[in-house]
Structure 1
Amino acid sequence: MMSKLPSRYLWGVTGVALSVALVFLIIGITSRLSVIEVSVEDGIGLNGSDQQVCYFVEPEFQLRWMHSVEKQWWEEQYQRNDDALLLTTTYFEAFGAGTPSTEALATVQKPGYLGYQINESLPNLDWVVSRLTKGEINYGDHQILIHQWVPDYSTIIITPKAYGLVDRLKKDFCHELSSDGSE
């Protein structure tokens, strides 16, 4: 009778451990992670490969580019809000025709820039890329030189999404892809 006690105990502990592992597996598979997805509309893919989509998890990001006429930097600050992107502020070095001027000044001003508070909600962004404008996406500690990833006049679509575990495994983080056009 004494020899069966450790065996029952071992089976009980194993059963509990397997049950806990199963619960964590189910939670991992069914949980969703809010992300910002960056995809290429023309189907060429980042770096010319089959990979057409990457993502990042930071809730805030910045688009930055050189204005094609004024040759000055423009920046737009965004936040992910559930299923939309919120354009919070714009900053630019030069003020000219077409520049928004009816909005309130941004509460935080950057040296050398003029900033406006925008607070416009967008379902996604369609951004046409050109090497001449030197477009980039900045988030966290990462700077993605998007103008070096794709051919000129490719359309990048930036969308808030929720990824499950399978989606996360099938796609790359944007900062893990080379931003200089190499593999």
Structure 2
Amino acid sequence: MMNKPASKQLRWLTGAAFIAALVFLILWMGLAGQPVTEVRVAGTEGENDKVCYFTEPDFQLRWIHSVEKQWWEEQYQRQSDGLLLTTTYFEAFGAGTPSTEMLAPIQKPGYLGYQINEKLPRLNWVVSRLTKGEIDYGNHRVLIHEWVPDYSEVVIMPQSYGLIDRFKKDLCHELPSDGS
């Protein structure tokens, strides 16, 4: 049987080890980066940049093509060093439409899809209300054309956010769509 001073010392050491492990875990969570996809719009006339993020690795950009007036979709995967454009889908086939690529393994009704697999460091995308640009990920649809002024350049890129960064920035689907 253990004597009382030794038992008390053991409880104290166990408690101190638990607190040290908890502090280590909190520091690690605050400093360790979580891979995210950042969406950034440059501020105008002295305004700060608008920034949001999402954690899902796969996302899709959709817009109405300015010439064909039909929906176009591009599907992407976030990777540690860039974005991979995996497939593109469109309703109308016209000038500038990729046609030398392999057909996408999954075809969508009403669309023609091609497998692209092109690696990009980031996307610079200009959106307007006329093209109705949107970002879809998970079960969320962000109407980016309602969030930013017409002809804004939206930069989409992979990032790594620590816990503090995630508290300072908003998830894209939690932002109001009226641009405020």
Common fold, TM-score beyond 0.5?
Answer: yes
Cα distance in 2, alignment partners of residues 92 and 122 from structure 1: 20
> For 2:116 and 2:142, how far apart are their aligned partners in 1?
24
When the two chains are superposed, the root-mean-square deviation of aligned CA atoms in Å is 2.0
1:120-165 deviation line (CA, Å, top 9, x unaligned): 0000001101100101000000000000001101110000111122
In the aligned structure 1, how far is the partner of 2:116 from the partner of 2:75? 9
Instruction: Give the deviation of 1:68 after TM superposition.
Output: 1.3
Please list every run of 5 or more consecutive structure 2 residues that lacks an aligned counterpart in the other structure: none
Q: Which runs of 4+ in 1 moved over 4 A?
A: none
Long gaps (5+) in structure 1: none
* Residue of structure 1 in register with 2:17 after alignment: 16
Please list the CA deviations of residues 58-109 of structure 1 after superposition, one character each: whole Å capped at 9, or x if unmatched. Answer: 0000000011121110000000111110000100000011111111111110
The equivalences for 1:9-158 within 5 A come to 9-41=10-42, 43-44=43-44, 50=48, 52-158=50-156
Shifted more, 111-120 versus 17-26: the winner is 17-26
- Contact map agreement 2:40 2:49 (CA 8 A) in 1: no
Identity of aligned residues (%): 60
1:158 partner amino acid = I
Deviations along 1:16-43, one digit per CA (max 9) or x if unpaired, are 21111122123212211111000002x1
Task: Give the TM-score normalised by the residue count of structure 1.
Answer: 0.90
Query: In structure 1, what is the Cα distance between the partners aligned to 2:85 and 2:58?
Result: 10
Q: Provide closer, same or farther for how the CA distance between residues 67 and 163 of structure 1 changes in structure 2, counting only shifts above 3 A.
A: same
Asked if structure 1 preserves the Cα contact closer than 8 Å seen for 2:59 and 2:138, the reply is: yes
